[in-house]
Every structure is written in structure tokens, then in C-alpha cells.
Amino acid sequence: MKACIFDLDGTLTDTLESLTYSVRATLREMGLAEITADECRQFVGNGARRLMECALAAAGDKDAGRIDEGMEIYGRIFDANCTYHVTPYEGIPQMISGLRKKGIQLAVLSNKPHEQTVKVVREIFGEDIFDCVLGQKEGIKRKPDPEGVYNVLDILHTEKDECLYVGDSEVDVKTALNAKIACVGVAWGFRSREVLAEAGAEHIIDLPEELLQYV
């Protein structure tokens, strides 16, 4: 194994508070009812537009007729608050350090917009920890399409059978399956162990340190 590609939200960082805060502020500005943190947790994983479509539906805009307005407001609010109360999960810094000592290349692939993905990674982990950071951007299909994985592999000059994908949701498991690379699901994130298993995850870990043993 030469490289690990990580999802961000719910895998490396607990970003639920920043996401919930930004969605609620967007809905308030639109004059709509707020959603709960648990609803936001379930809506995360398929990119910002899907998050807002689900949030609008839960808040009363059933046909997402105001989605363009919502995206404009959310983009502005989230850009200013994407690191709001964001922290790495317990054990993540030590796991990353252990992987680097083993000579493993590290990458982040997220459905969060690219600029905010880079901003969160830079603020929480620093500039030089990850060899590649890629969020959702024009021209690259979002997960679970494997295109983002292939882009990362090209940047890292790594083959599929030398890489491990690590994530906390059914979207991540499907991404790895579609890309035909090995996958490890993490049970500390936004989805349950049962959801990961139903999606097809063959390996699920409960603590970051277990990834070092797996690699």
C-alpha cells in the first residue's frame, strides 16, 4: 500500500456543527424553518447542492424551487463559516503521523466545494500534511463517481491496487467500489456501521489507530 485517500467530513474532521450552522443560517435568511443537526447529518455526503435540496425540502420547499437562491446564500455563509467549531476526530492526528512515518502518501477527496475543502484541511492540519486535496469542482464528477479518485491517483502517480480509500458513508463505499480500489469504512462518522455494511464495506474500523494496523 502506497497511498490513502480520505473523505473529509465525518472521516478526518467533525464538521457537523459548521454544516448545521451554515444550513440553518441560510434557511433563516430565506424565511424558512430550521432543520435539526440530525437531519443535517443525514443530508451530508452528496455535495452542497444535494445538501441544500434536502434541507429545503425538510424546511417546506418541497420541490426545491428556491434551490438557486439557497445555493447563493449557502455558498456565501458557508465560505465564512466552513471551519466553525471544526475539529479532527480523536486519534486522527496520531494516525496521520503514523501513516506518514510509514511513507504512505495522503490525499483528501471530498464532495465539499473545493475552496472550502482546502480551507478546512489547511486550518486543521496545516499546509504540508496531505500530498493532494481535492473537493468538488466543475469538470470533475462528484462521488460516488470514481473520476475524483482517478484524478487523485494521477496526481500521486499511484496505481489502484496500491491505494486505500477511507470514508464514513455509503457514498464513500460506493466510490471505492466504482473505482475498484480497497476500502475501509470508519464507524465514528456521520453514518452507522450498519449503513456502511449494507453499502458493501468489507472492512470497518472503530478507531483511527486500527487503520495503521490494517495498512
| Residue 61 a catalytic site member | no
Q: Could you say which of 81, 103, 122 is where a domain stops?
A: 81
Roughly what angle, to the nearest 10 degrees, separates helices 67-81 and 16-29?
A: 130
At 197 the pLDDT is 97
For range 63-69, the mean pLDDT: 90
For range 33-51, the mean pLDDT: 92
At 177 the pLDDT is 98
| 123 and 61 in a common domain | no
**215: confidence class by pLDDT, cuts 50, 70, 90:** confident
* Burial tier of 192 (Cβ tally within 10 Å: 0-12, 13-18, 19+): exposed
CA 44, CA 125: separation in Å to the nearest integer?
A: 22
**63: confidence class by pLDDT, cuts 50, 70, 90:** confident
**45: confidence class by pLDDT, cuts 50, 70, 90:** confident
| 154-177 b/e (C-beta count within 10 Å ≥ 16 → b) | eebebeeeebbbbbbbbbbbbbbb
Instruction: Out of 35-44, 55-64, 133-142, pick the least confident.
Output: 55-64
Would the pLDDT of 160 be above 90? yes
The cell numbers describing 55, all together, are 434541507
**62: confidence class by pLDDT, cuts 50, 70, 90:** confident
Q: Could you say which of 81, 105, 132 is where a domain stops?
A: 81
Would the pLDDT of 162 be above 90? yes
At 214 the pLDDT is 87
| 49 and 103 in a common domain | no
At 17 the pLDDT is 95
| 150 and 70 in a common domain | no
Per the confidence metrics, is the pTM higher than 0.85?
yes
The mean pLDDT of the chain is 95
Identify the active-site residue in 7, 9, 14, 168: 7
Three-state DSSP class for 36?
coil
Q: Could you say which of 60, 81, 102 is where a domain stops?
A: 81
Domain count, the chain: 2
CA 131, CA 146: separation in Å to the nearest integer?
A: 19
Q: Which domain holds residue 155?
A: 3-14+87-214
| 29 and 8 in a common domain | no
